[in-house]
Copies of this chain bind each other. A is one copy, B any other.
């Protein structure tokens, strides 16, 4: 056994067993060449009670000890006794000191002076800037020379979301990603979550790819908007173009959606749709001028949905609504996500990962895609917050609409 000269004591408290934190804590120590000794472990006696762990972590070098401590922080471990956060100035804009603390998406507190302060605008892969007694997440590129940046692990406390063992609400289908599941049941539970979010004045965001239109989900999605379940719509140029193309010409990339037959030269309609909208001065004006009369974007505008279309390298056109400066687009996405409690991701890996990067870990995410690899990839990025459903998006939206309409008191 390697002699471990450097050690520190850390503590963690919560549903450490249920959320598999205990296991992960031990894994990370051993996986990084360290050793641990359980000084105290007080297990919750029943399903409600918290567990409490006091652990001595040792490592052969100071550097590896710091690395282990950093790795344990997202699991809720914080060093004992408490120390103040270390602040260093950014010497140059958009750059930070080497030992900067890189954030997770979990609720984080910083010890400034004698007080623990909650960090605002929590998101992953940011740094923490302290101004006076306030702390907030900031993207690397937004750091300004002179900003006080939290460095190292002292004075940082992370509270991971605990996975509830409640059999209701959200935990129900988180066990694994599978196409061999009954989607009708999942839809029922998603509706329950949607209603809960709305009744608590939370906002619901949808991230939607063009497959929503191709697969015939457009009218069903438009119905969700009319029913008030879509507060935010985050998408790319393609969703809007295909939706507009369908509204104007009845096709989507050359597929006649009602007949199901291919109209191979459909690209022409695609470009025509862009030309029509841009000539009108954008989607909103096209609606105002009576040019665009149906579809997802039409309903989004009519029902004041907060929508942002972010550009991508593959965009044709694009529509004049599409934000091609991605720094701007990321900021608009972030702003639109304020107050959102539930995000439903429909068949777009690109925009879904983009949104996932911006979310704190307490926002629930439902990810729907027919490709299990996409669902797995998204769920892996935040396993305690994401439910994955492998199914046909068009039929999923059809089910969602049908079950919403069938609720008591609906028409």
Contact = CB atoms under 8 A, between A and B. Distances in A.
Interface of A: 17-18, 20, 22-24, 26-28, 30-32, 35-38, 41, 43-47, 67, 70-71, 74, 92, 94-96, 98, 100, 102, 124-125, 140-141, 165, 167, 172-173, 175-177, 179-186, 189, 211, 214-216, 236, 255, 257-265, 267-268, 270-272, 274-276, 278-279, 310-318, 320, 324-327, 329-330, 333, 350-351, 353-354, 357, 370-373, 376, 380, 390-392, 394-396, 398-399
A192 to B, nearest CB: 12
5 contacts: A31-B261, A100-B271, A179-B211, A185-B216, A395-B398
Nearest to A29: B47
A232 to B, nearest CB: 15
**Copies of chain A in the complex:** 4
A19 to B, nearest CB: 8
A216 B356 CA distance: 26
| Leading 4 A-B pairs by shortest Cβ distance | A182-B216, A185-B260, A313-B354, A395-B395
A23 B165 CA distance: 10
A137 to B, nearest CB: 12
A318 B279 CA distance: 34
Given A140-B317, A392-B395, 10 more contacts: A20-B23, A28-B264, A30-B165, A31-B167, A38-B44, A124-B267, A183-B395, A313-B351, A326-B326, A376-B376
A400 to B, nearest CB: 11
Contacts of A311: 313, 326
Contacts of A380: 176
Contacts of A20: 20, 23
Nearest to A325: B325
A335 to B, nearest CB: 14
B31 A37 contact: no
A27 B165 contact: yes
Nearest to A399: B395
Contacts of A271: 100, 102, 125, 140
A121 to B, nearest CB: 16
A278 B35 contact: no
A384 to B, nearest CB: 13
A315 to B, nearest CB: 7
A270 B141 CA distance: 14
A351 B315 CA distance: 11
A7 to B, nearest CB: 13
A265 B353 contact: no
A316 B357 contact: yes
A197 to B, nearest CB: 20
A216 B184 contact: yes
A272 B313 contact: no
Contacts of A214: 180-182
Contacts of A258: 185
B23 A398 contact: no
Contacts of A183: 215-216, 392, 394-395
A278 B140 contact: yes
A60 to B, nearest CB: 15
Contacts of A263: 31-32, 71
A314 B357 contact: yes
B47 A30 contact: yes
Given A38-B46, A313-B310, A71 B265 contact: yes
A212 to B, nearest CB: 10
A92 B351 CA distance: 32
A36 B46 contact: yes
A263 to B, nearest CB: 7
A313 B330 contact: yes
A66 B44 CA distance: 24
A172 to B, nearest CB: 6
A13 to B, nearest CB: 15
